[in-house]
Amino acid sequence: MAEMRSTSQTSKHQRQPAGADADPVVVALRLELGASAVLTGADAQGRSAGIWRNDSVQAKAIVRPTSTAEVASVMRICTTFDQPIVAHGGLTGLVASGITNPDEIALSLERMTAIEEVHELDRTMVVQSGAILQVVQETAEQHGLMFPLDLGARGSCTIGGNLSTNAGGNRVVRYGMARDMVLGLEVVLADGTVLSSMNRMIKNNAGFDLKQLFVGTEGSLGIITRAVLRLREAPAKRATMLVGIESFDKLGKFLKQFDGSTGGTLSAFEVLWNNFYTLVTSEPATQQPPLAQDMPYYVLVETIGSDNAAAEEALAEALEQSLIVDAVLVQNEAQRQNLWAIRDDVEQCFRYAPVYTFDVSLRLSCMEAYVDEVNARLKKAFVNADIRNFTFGHLGDGNLHFLVSVGAGVEECAATREGVERCVYEPLAAIEGSISGEHGIGLEKKPWLSISRTPIEIALMRQLKLTLDPKGLLNRGKIFDV
């Protein structure tokens, strides 16, 4: 009998969940959403923690709701257990805003991908926040419309992530940031309250525009679950070209001249410094250089609403004024895609790993001196290092990207990272620049926030956080400490 009892007890013990599976939050979430909606163990931790990262997700569980109602249920359970939670979209962010700790829950929107409605006359689209940006773009095109937001990660980033980080990308000079392309939002607050503000009108001044509280706040005030997107008519005319320019002074003059000559149809003005252009048009990169590799600057220019004839006229005027040295104007869609592939082939920089990536914003009038100062600081801070600062950016809207390598001979550690960051961020204070043009703050830029925001601004951010998330459960520790 004793042996039988021992066997029975052992069987009972084996049936008990272990580790994360026994956690009361995990148990409650599975009871609410079903077992398949809550991943633990290797199913959760086998996932990559994000783009360009070598680590995997570290979380108590990954929860995968399918609706706003289920997200609300998740938040009510997490509030009951004081459980921190981090929302996950496509994990293409570059500031560690989606990183989770082993004691946190990751709430993935991967099963909330529905495009619920496209209204051609109103030029709106209603989507769940897990919808992939490229799918949204292609769906709009099928209806003769366009969703203007565009960036290199279009094939994997999600609308919820785009909005929660206020993504920028390639067309900001014409259409603005992500916040300019959303009319309404549905958001779940930390306590499970559903704020449904699914406005479908361009103009609505009836009180506070509450959706803007959640755009660009990195999931720290609420979780975006649905959105009403503003669409535009699909362009009947488009022109794309690559231009070579011999001085920074002429970059700014060409921007003004070309924008004016093409009647405000300029939609992209992407500048590649020579070192970046050479990097992405030399082996082992697969793209060939459309222009010789001996010019200091190259500009990928695109217009939406004007054709090659208008572009040729504007380029001829620029040549006459000696603003540009050379140019190529694409004649078909394949050529256009090839030009953009040059701009998007950022991963080529990793042959010089370790690489530190940056996204800053500043006035165009300050940019040349700022880049020179950053490079001078890097040389001074890392004497005898093989320093490379591959530089490019959305110059039309004052947004620069640096890909900094100090050589394989310099130890990759926190001190090296801080040294590089100091060279990039500190000069921004004197020129009132921003440490983040479009990527957000997350954990990576958190120590430098005071360069771009005053103590009063940061105090008000904290007050908003405490008001909407008094327990500090949403994306805890990101942007700033509460």
Q: What is the pLDDT of residue 153?
A: 93
Does the domain spanning 115-233 belong to CATH 3.30.465.10? yes
Q: Specify the pTM.
A: 0.92
Name the region of 481 (left: φ>0; alpha: ψ -120 to 50; beta: rest).
beta
Q: What is the pLDDT of residue 398?
A: 95
The 10s digit of each residue's pLDDT in 422-433 is 999 999 999 999
Q: What is the pLDDT of residue 21?
A: 81
User: Which segments in the chain show pLDDT lower than 70?
Assistant: 1-19
Q: What is the pLDDT of residue 19?
A: 66
Q: What is the pLDDT of residue 11?
A: 38
What are residue 51's phi and psi, to 5 degrees? -65, 140
- By residue count, the chain amounts to 482
112-to-84, 131, 186 alpha-carbon distances in Å: 21, 7, 13
Q: Give the integer Cα–Cα distance in Å for 127 and 111.
A: 12
* Pick from 342, 338, 394: nearest CA to 150: 394
Strand order in the sheet with 266-273: 326-329, 238-245, 297-304, 266-273, 388-394, 399-405, 355-361
Q: Where are the domains of the chain?
A: 19-108, 115-233, 238-344, 351-440
Q: Is the peptide bond before 284 cis (omega within 30 degrees of 0)?
A: yes
CATH of span 238-344:
3.30.70.2190
Q: What is the pLDDT of residue 14?
A: 38
Alpha helix segments (H runs only) across 100-236: 133-142, 159-164, 172-175
**What one-letter code names the amino acid at 172?**
V
Please name the fold of domain 19-108: 3.30.43
In words, the CATH class of domain 351-440 is: alpha beta
> Is it true that 115-233 and 238-344 share their CATH fold?
no
Are β-strands 388-394 and 105-108 bridged in parallel, bridged antiparallel, or unpaired? unpaired
Q: Is the peptide bond before 354 cis (omega within 30 degrees of 0)?
A: yes
Q: What is the pLDDT of residue 2?
A: 35
Q: Residue 332, Cα to own-chain centre: how many angstroms? A: 29
Q: What is the pLDDT of residue 10?
A: 37
Q: What is the pLDDT of residue 429?
A: 97
